[in-house]
Amino acid sequence: MTATDSMQEYLAEAYRIAYYQSDNPYVSTSALADEMNVSAPAVTRMVQRLKSAGFLEHEPYRGIKLTAEGEREALANIRKHRLVERFLVDVMGFGWHEVHDDADELGLVVSNILVNKMDEMSGYPRRCPHGEPIPSADGEMPRVIDYPLSDVDVEKDYVISRVHTHDDEKLRYFSELHLEPGTHFRLIERAPFNGPLRLEVEGQTHFLGHELAGTLRVCSQVEYDLI
């Protein structure tokens, strides 16, 4: 059975949640409802459809886990979405804060042939504008090694790996500070009790609150270049 557009959206979001958990393949239905911005009963109905179609397993008190077929459908959706985002930014000149919702809509209607052309015209990117890895055409997802900025050691140099938000105001703010995927910076200081962090970016000093810093994933240059 081929997943419908709505089924692919749920599968893709479940995959994204599990990907960030890294050590836990199970996703709670409440987390899925929050990310999809739908009611709990709506998620329950969709989970039953996806389970019947063989796209996921559901264990009470643990949550849902994608099957191999469910992962294939999820990765097809994610590949389209992230390549459309890349095309909109790199070729059409949109800002990275503008493209997430449009990529959701366009990803549902563009063909694989068109997506592959977008891939070519964008220079075969490895990451979307927000730093997320782009699955290959044969369904392989690169594994990214990175850490929340709020958790890493001070007095060290890092590279921005991913930005885990689609809030346009936050993305605009990060752009103003030049905190985008691929940017090098040094973490100078972290105030105690979840206080602000002090960063040096391109010779400029900036302060970030602890919560906002947690949306930035960082790594070494070697780790960044692995995908």
Distance in angstroms between the alpha carbons of the first and the last residue of the chain: 32
pLDDT of residue 125: 97
Tell me the CATH number for domain 147-224: 2.30.30.90
- How many angstroms separate the Cα of 215 from the Cα of each of 15, 61, 137, 168, 220? 18, 28, 28, 13, 17
What are the phi and psi torsion angles at 36 (to 5°)? -85, -10
Q: What is the pLDDT of residues 32-66, one digit of tens each?
A: 999 999 999 999 999 999 999 999 999 988 999 99
Q: Which two tokens stand for residue 194?
A: 């979840």
- pLDDT surpasses 90 at 10: yes
CATH 2.30.30.90 domain extents, the chain: 147-224
pLDDT tens figures, 88-138: 999 999 999 999 999 999 988 999 999 999 999 999 999 999 999 999 999
Q: How confident is the model at residue 23 (pLDDT cuts 50, 70, 90)?
A: confident
The H helix count followed by the E strand count for the chain is: 9, 8
pLDDT digits (tens, 9 = 90+) for 138-171: 999 998 999 999 999 999 999 999 999 999 999 9
Residues of the chain with CATH 1.10.10.10: 5-70
Would you state the structure tokens that stand for residue 156, as one six-digit string? 């060290």
Q: What is the CATH number of domain 5-70?
A: 1.10.10.10
**The pTM is what?**
0.91
pLDDT at 22 over 80: no
